[in-house]
């Protein structure tokens, strides 16, 4: 496969053709924040945290779905990008009820980690404080819509890794919700195989093992990448 040479933050980087800017940056040790990206699951460029500046493009482009090109000049960090990323994170925090101190994922949450990384000690927007249910109908897992950021990692893990197609998104905009099957209690789903891949994929405390208490949800997200690599490349790399 042909190699492409590009610069990321002024650093000369060599990448394989077809690789994304995100992968090339990470291979080169350059950190780009992400939330909807998860290794092994197809990218959709939804969360917009990985937006980067590319010389010659008037638009900001999501690094997770932008392929590398020869001679590309990428800027992963600027005042404008930092401002947007912070705003995205603040809006996510304001949209639902993210109460870190009592959350099952406290200390192991990607949203919390990113918020801390971006110096978010307060949110400038008014909290919406919606009244949302916790679905504890499944015998093994729970779904707390209060903590969901609609990254859809669970949906993609369910459809593309497990192939069960249980998880989906219903509604539009701010009314969007992750649902099971035809919007029924998770425990009544006929398609769910109880594999737990959605729980492993969740970046926050939205999906959790039943009975988990504060800060107890620690997930091994590398398992999904392992499964996909084994299936697609017949390589069993732990």
Partner 1 sequence: MPRQITIDPVTRIEGHAKITIQLDEAGNVDNVRFHVVEFRGFERFCEGRPFAEMPGITARICGICPVSHLLASAKACDRILSVDIPPAAEKLRRMMNLGQIIQSHALSFFHLSAPDFLLGWEQPPERRNLFGLVAAEPELARRGIRLRQFGQEVIETLGGRKIHPAWAVPGGVRNALTPAGRDALKARLPEAKESALMALERFKKVLSTHKQELQVFGNFPSLFLGLVTPNGTWEHYDGHLCVMDSVGNVICDFADPAQYGSIIGEAVETSSYLKSPYYKPLGYPGGMYRVGPLARLNIARQMGTPLADKELSHFKTLGCGAVNASFMYHYARLIEIVACIERLEGMLDDSDLLGTRLRADAGVNSLEGIGVSEAPRGTLFHHYNVDEKGVVRKVNLIIATGQNNLAMNRTVAQIARHYLTGSTISEPMLNRIEAGIRAFDPCLSCSTHADGRIALGVVLLDATGKVLDEANRL
Rounded CA Rg of the chain: 19
Q: Is 165 left (phi over 0), alpha (psi -120 to 50) or beta?
A: left
**Which region, judged by CB under 8 A, interacts with partner 1, from 63-71, 163-171, 205-213, 226-234?**
205-213
From CA 112, how far away is CA 89, in angstroms rounded? 9
CB nearer to partner 1: pick between 73 and 216: 216
Name the token pair of 71. 């001679």
- In the complex, minimum distance from the CB of residue 213 to partner 1, in angstroms, rounded to a whole number: 5
Of residues 227, 231, 132, 137, the one with CA closest to residue 181: 137
For the CB of residue 137, give the shortest distance to partner 1 in the complex, in Å. 6
* CB of residue 205 to partner 1, shortest distance in Å: 10
Residues from 127 through 186 that contact partner 1 (CB under 8 A):
131, 133-134, 136-137, 142, 144
Over the range 17-45, which residues count as b (16 or more CB within 10 Å of their CB) and which as e?
eebbbbbbbbeeebebbbbbbbebbebbb
Minimum Å distance from CB 172 to partner 1?
A: 24
Interface with partner 1 includes 102 (CB under 8 A)?
A: yes
Residues that bind partner 1 (CB under 8 A): 101-102, 104, 131, 133-134, 136-137, 142, 144, 187, 210-215
């Amino acid at each position: 496969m042909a190699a492409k040479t590009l610069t990321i933050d002024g650093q000369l980087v060599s990448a394989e053709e077809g690789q994304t800017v995100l992968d090339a940056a990470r291979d080169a040790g350059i950190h780009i924040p992400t939330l909807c990206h998860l290794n092994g699951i197809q990218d959709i460029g939804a969360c917009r945290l990985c937006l980067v500046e590319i010389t010659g493009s008037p638009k900001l482009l999501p690094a997770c779905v932008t392929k590398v090109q020869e001679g590309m000049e990428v800027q992963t960090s600027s005042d404008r990008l930092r401002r947007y990323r912070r705003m995205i994170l603040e809006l996510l925090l304001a949209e639902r009820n993210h109460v870190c101190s009592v959350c099952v994922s406290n200390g192991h949450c990607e949203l919390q980690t990113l918020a801390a990384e971006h110096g978010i000690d307060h949110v400038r927007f008014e909290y919406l404080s919606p009244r949302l249910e916790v679905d504890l109908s499944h015998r093994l897992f729970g779904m707390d819509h209060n903590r969901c950021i609609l990254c859809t990692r669970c949906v993609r893990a369910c459809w593309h890794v497990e192939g069960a197609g249980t998880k989906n998104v219903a509604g539009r905009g701010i009314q969007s919700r992750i649902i099971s099957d035809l919007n029924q209690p998770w425990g009544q789903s006929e398609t769910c195989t109880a594999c737990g891949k959605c729980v492993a994929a969740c970046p926050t405390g939205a999906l959790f093992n039943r009975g988990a208490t504060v800060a107890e949800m620690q997930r091994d997200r590398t398992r999904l990448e392992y499964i996909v690599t084994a299936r697609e490349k017949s390589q069993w790399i732990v």
